[in-house]
Structure 1
Amino acid sequence: MSVAQFFEGKNIFITGGTGFMGKILIEKLLRSCPGTGKIYVLLRSKRGRSVEERLKQLLDGEVFDKIRENNPDALDKIIGIGGNVAELNLGLSDSDRQLLVDNVNIIYHSAASVRFDDFLDESILMNIRGTREIAQLALDLKNPTILVHVSTAYCNGDRYEVDEKLYPPHGDWRDAILLAETCDKELIHIMSEKYIYPHVNTYTFAKGLAEHVITDMCKGKIQTIITRPSIVINALDEPIAGWNDNLNGPMSLMLAAAKGLLRTSLTKLDLKLNYIPVDLVIKAIILATYDNYTESNCNEVEVYNITQPVINLTHLPFSTLARSIVIDLPVPNVLWYPRLSSTSCYYNYYLQAIFYQMLPAIFFDIFLKLMGKKTMVVKIQRKLYISTVILTPFTMQNFTFKNDKMINILKKLRETNPDFDFRIKLSHEELYKFLIDMKNGTVKYTMKESMDPTGQTEKKHLQRLKIIDIILKIILVCLSCWLLLFKFNTIEWSLNQVYNHFQKL
C-alpha cells in the first residue's frame, strides 16, 4: 500500500490550516493523495472576516495554483469549521463537533502561537489547553486512524542534544491550565520567568508540556505521533519554489538585512543552521503518519525529529553567500546599502546596534517627518533589536537533533513513494539557487512587492546607495581625523600655556 492509497477515502481535520505549514499540508494532500476524503479546516473569525470569507481567502491563495490548474474540483473537499483552539471545546458548535466526531479519521494539530514573547497565560491556553481539547476530540472520534501533533524541535530548550523521545516535563500540564484559567493575570506575568524555568520563553515551555498532554491522554487509546520540525523556512520545490507567506523566524531578519535595515547580528559565527524547507517538513510528516500507522500500535507515542538541514553551512559562510546574492540581485525598496556584521559579544553587538542601526534610524525618521511622511524606521529597528535579543538563546548555542527515524522512513519509502522523496543535502549550486528562490518568494508572496523583470531598476538604486555609503564614510573619516587633530592641537596649546606659565615663575 502506497502513501496515496493509505489516505484514500480518509477524512482529515486540520488545525492551523491557514498557517504557513498548514497551507502546504492541505495542498500536498490534495495534489499527491487525490483519493483523500474531505479536509475539515478549523477557522476563526479574524479582523472582521467571517469563517466563509477566511476559507475563500485560503482557497484563493497562489499556493493552490497547481491544483486549480490540474484538478480544481479537489478544492471542494476543503470545508471550513468555525472554532478557535484557544477556547474550550475548540469553540465548536454542537453540530460541528458531532460532524467531526462522525466523519473524521485523521487529525493534524498544527495550530499554535509561535510568538516567543506571549504572556504565559495566553501561551498556556493556546498551546497546552488547546492541545488537551484536540486530544479529547480525537478520543471521541467514531472511526479514528491516527492523531498527529506538530510540536517543535526546541520544546526541550534546556537540552542541547535532543533524541527522538519524550523527556521529563518541567511542570504538570493540568496545573498549568488551572493556573491560566483561575490566577490573576498580573500575578502570572510577574511569576512567569520563574515558573517556566529552565525554559527561556513561554513558547518552548508550553510546547514541551503539550507533548505530555498528548501522551498522557492518548497513549494506549489511539494511534498518536509527535513530530518536531526545527526552523521551517521557504519551500524548496513544492508547490512553488521559494514560496513563503509570513515573516516568522529567520525570514524577517534576512529580509531586513537585504533592505539594509539590519546591520549587525548577535550570534555564534560557527552556529549550525537548523533550517528546513516547509515542503520537506510536510513530506516527512505525511510519511511519518503513514509509516507509524502501518508499522506501530497505539501503545506507544512515537516522536519524530524533522530536523535534517539541507543547508550544510554554519552562520558565517551562509550570511556571506546570502549577502552576495542580495548585492548581485537586490530586492526592491532597499533603504541602505546592505552590510551585515556578526558578533558573539553582547557589548559589541549593543554598541553596533546603537551606532549602525538606531542612530541612522533616528535621522531617517527626522527626514521622513520633514517630508510630511509617516515615521517608521525607529519602530522597525526597535522590533529588530527585540527579535535579536529574544532569539539569543538559539543563536548563541548549537543544538544537535537526532533524526534517525525520519532518515530511516525516507530510505524505506522513497522508492515506492517518489512523490514524497526529498533531498537530504544541497550542493553549492542548488543552495545558491534556493537562496535566490527564497529572496524572490519572500518579496513576491510575503511582501507583495513587484520587481523589475530585468533587475536593472533595483541594481541602479543599489549602486546609488553604495556611492552615498562610500561618500558618507569618507566624510565620517575626515570628520574624525579633524576632531582628533583639533583635539591634539588644543592639548598642545594647553601644554604650551602651562609651560610658559612655569617659565615666568
Structure 2
Amino acid sequence: MEMAGTQTISEFYNGRSIFITGATGFMGKALVEKLLRSCPGIKNIYILVRPKRGKDVSQRLEELLASKLFEKLQRQDPDFSRKVIPVTGDILHENLGVSQKDEDMVVNNVSVVFHSAATVKFDEEMKWMDGDVLNTLTPKMIGDRPNTYTYTKAIAEYLLYQNKENLPVVIFRPSIVGASWNEPVPGWVDNYNGPTGLLAAIGNGLLRIMKGNFYGTSDVIPVDIASNMMISVAWDNVVHKTEELKVFHCTTGQLNKFTWGQMERMSYEYFMKNPVNTVARIPNPRFTKSYVWHEVCVLFDHILPAYLMDLMMWVSGKRPIFVRIQDKLRKAVGSLDYFTQNEWFFAHKNLDSLLSKMTPEDRKTFNFDVKCIHWPTYMESYCLGIKRFVLREELTELSKARQTLKRLQRINFAVNVFLFIAVWRLMINRVAVARTLWNFLLGWAIRIFKRMPKVAKSS
C-alpha cells in the first residue's frame, strides 16, 4: 500500500475490509453499493444483520443484494456479492450480539467501521428501566428536545466526545435524507421515512395540509450525496488525522437552499405531470403556520372526505380504509411538525475543507458538492422514484394514471360547481344581502343581453 498521504480515496480502500452496521437500511444500502462500485479494490464488507420475521441473515442478505439499487453494479461486476459477508448480531444486545468467532474475524480483518444503524422512529421508547417510570421521566430527560430520537443521538455523540482520545472517530451528521440525486439511478428510494412518506401521501392526494413554514429551509439531502461524503470522511480521518473530534454536517440549507414551499409547489407540479396509479384525490399540498387554519383544513379536507370515501367503499362492498389511513397519516406528519416549522443553520467549514483536499477525480467520483443539485430536476426524479421503487408502479402505466387523474379533475370540477350552486341558493334564500346582490347582478345581465341585438344591428 502507498503512503496514506498520497492515496486517492479509491486507493485508500484497496485491500481494506469494512464493517458496517445498518447496512440493511436506506443509507446503509446506498453506502454498500457505492463502496463496491467505486472502490473495486476493496477486499470485503462485513455487515451486521439480525434475523427478522422468520428470515435468517443469509436470506436477508440475498434480499438486500437483489434490490434494484445494485443492478448497475451487477452489470459492472456480476460476482460482487462474494465481497459482502453477513455477521449475525443485533445492536440492541450486549457486544452487538456477535459471537466470539465473528468478533475475532471482524477484529482481525477490519480497518474502517461505518456505524449507521439507528431507529427511524422519532418517538421510540427508551428501554433501560421500568416502562412506567421511564414514561414519567422521559419528558424531563429530553427537556427542550422534540423527541427521543434527537435526545439519544446527542447522548451517543457525547459518549464519543468523552472517549475521543482512545477512538479514531469522526461524527457525520446528514440532515433529512431523501432519494438519490444521480447514483446509481436518479430517484432511488425504498422506504416511507422522512420526506418520502409525505411525498407519497401528497401524490395519492391524501395529504393536503401540513404545519410548516412555507419559506423555511427543508434541508433535504440526497442519499447518494450523503454516502459519497461518508466514504470521503473516513478517508480524511486517516489520511489527515488530527487530535480533534471532527463533526461534518452534510446539509444543503446554507449552500443550496430548498424550502418547504418549493417542495409544496414542485411536488404538485410533478405529481400532476406523472401521477401515481393509486391517486385517490387530486394532489393539493399546502404548508401553513396557522394552527387554526390547519385544524379547519384537516377537518374539511382530510377527515370529512375520508369518511365520505369510506362510505362509498362500504356501499360498493369494499373494506373502508381511508379513515384509518388518515389517522396513521396525521400521527406520522405530526412527528415532523417540529422540523417543518423550524429551521437551523449548520456550519460547513469541515465540508469545504474536505472538498479542498480531494483530487479533481475524487471530487467527481465521490461528489458531495450540494451546489450542483438542480432542485426541480431532483424533485421530478424523486416523485418518479416513489412511483417506481416505493409504490412499485411501472412507468409504462403512466398514460392510464393520467387518464385517472383527468377523470378526478372532471369529477372535482362538477362537485365544486354543485357545491357553489347549492351554497349560493341557500344564501339567496336565507341572506337578504345575498338576495339583493343576486337580483342586482341578474338585472344587470338582462339589460346587457337586451342591448346586444341593438349593438350588433348598429355595427
Answer whether TM exceeds 0.5 for this pair.
yes
Residue 229 (structure 2) pairs with residue 223 (structure 1): no
Q: How far apart in 2 are the matches of 1:426 and 1:339? A: 29
Post-superposition shift, 1:59? Answer: 1.2
After superposition, residues 345-494 of structure 1 pair within 5 angstroms as 345-417=290-362, 418-426=364-372, 430-452=374-396, 455-488=398-431
Alignment TM-score, normalising by the size of structure 2: 0.89
Corresponding position of 1:277: 222
Pairing partner for 2:135 from 189, 206, 219 = 189
- SS for the counterpart of 1:437 is helix
Identity of aligned residues (%): 32
- SS for the counterpart of 1:401 is coil
Q: How far apart in 1 are the matches of 2:256 and 2:310? A: 37
- The question of whether the paired residues in 2 share the 8 Å contact of 1:332 and 1:451 is answered with no
Q: How far apart in 2 are the matches of 1:222 and 1:119? A: 29
- SS for the counterpart of 1:255 is helix
Per-residue CA deviation, residues 12-70 of structure 1 (Å, 9 max, x unaligned), is 11000011110111111111111111111111111111111001111111111112111
The letter of the residue matching 1:355 is F
User: Which runs of no fewer than 5 residues in structure 1 stay unpaired?
Assistant: 122-179, 493-505
Per-residue CA deviation, residues 228-282 of structure 1 (Å, 9 max, x unaligned), is 0001100000011110001100111111111111111111111112011000111
After superposition, residues 38-117 of structure 1 pair within 5 angstroms as 38-117=44-123
Per-residue CA deviation, residues 89-124 of structure 1 (Å, 9 max, x unaligned), is 111122111221222111110000021111132xxx
Corresponding position of 1:175: none
Post-superposition shift, 1:384? Answer: 1.9
Q: How far apart in 2 are the matches of 1:348 and 1:9? A: 59
Corresponding position of 2:15: 9
- The question of whether the paired residues in 1 share the 8 Å contact of 2:181 and 2:378 is answered with yes
Per-residue CA deviation, residues 453-501 of structure 1 (Å, 9 max, x unaligned), is 5x32111111110111111112222222233344348xx9xxxxxxxxx
Q: CA RMSD in A?
A: 1.8
Pairing partner for 2:245 from 298, 301, 305 = 301
Q: How far apart in 2 are the matches of 1:283 and 1:39? A: 16
Q: How far apart in 1 are the matches of 2:415 and 2:247? A: 55
Corresponding position of 1:133: none
The letter of the residue matching 2:75 is E
Q: How far apart in 2 are the matches of 1:317 and 1:431? A: 9
Post-superposition shift, 1:329? Answer: 2.1
Range that drifts further, 383-392 or 331-340: 383-392
Distance 1:33-1:426 versus aligned 2 partners, 3 A rule: closer
- The question of whether the paired residues in 1 share the 8 Å contact of 2:189 and 2:390 is answered with yes
Pairing partner for 1:199 from 132, 135, 145 = 145
- SS for the counterpart of 2:371 is coil
- The question of whether the paired residues in 1 share the 8 Å contact of 2:260 and 2:340 is answered with no
Q: How far apart in 1 are the matches of 2:196 and 2:19? A: 29
- The question of whether the paired residues in 2 share the 8 Å contact of 1:414 and 1:421 is answered with no
Post-superposition shift, 1:326? Answer: 1.4
Corresponding position of 2:453: none
Distance 1:333-1:451 versus aligned 2 partners, 3 A rule: farther
- SS for the counterpart of 1:228 is strand
Corresponding position of 1:165: none
The letter of the residue matching 2:335 is I
Pairing partner for 2:283 from 338, 341, 353 = 338
The letter of the residue matching 2:74 is R
Post-superposition shift, 1:80? Answer: 0.7
- SS for the counterpart of 1:72 is coil
Post-superposition shift, 1:421? Answer: 2.5
Alignment TM-score, normalising by the size of structure 1: 0.81
Post-superposition shift, 1:426? Answer: 4.4
Corresponding position of 2:233: 288
- The question of whether the paired residues in 1 share the 8 Å contact of 2:258 and 2:375 is answered with no
The letter of the residue matching 2:249 is N
- The question of whether the paired residues in 1 share the 8 Å contact of 2:8 and 2:359 is answered with no
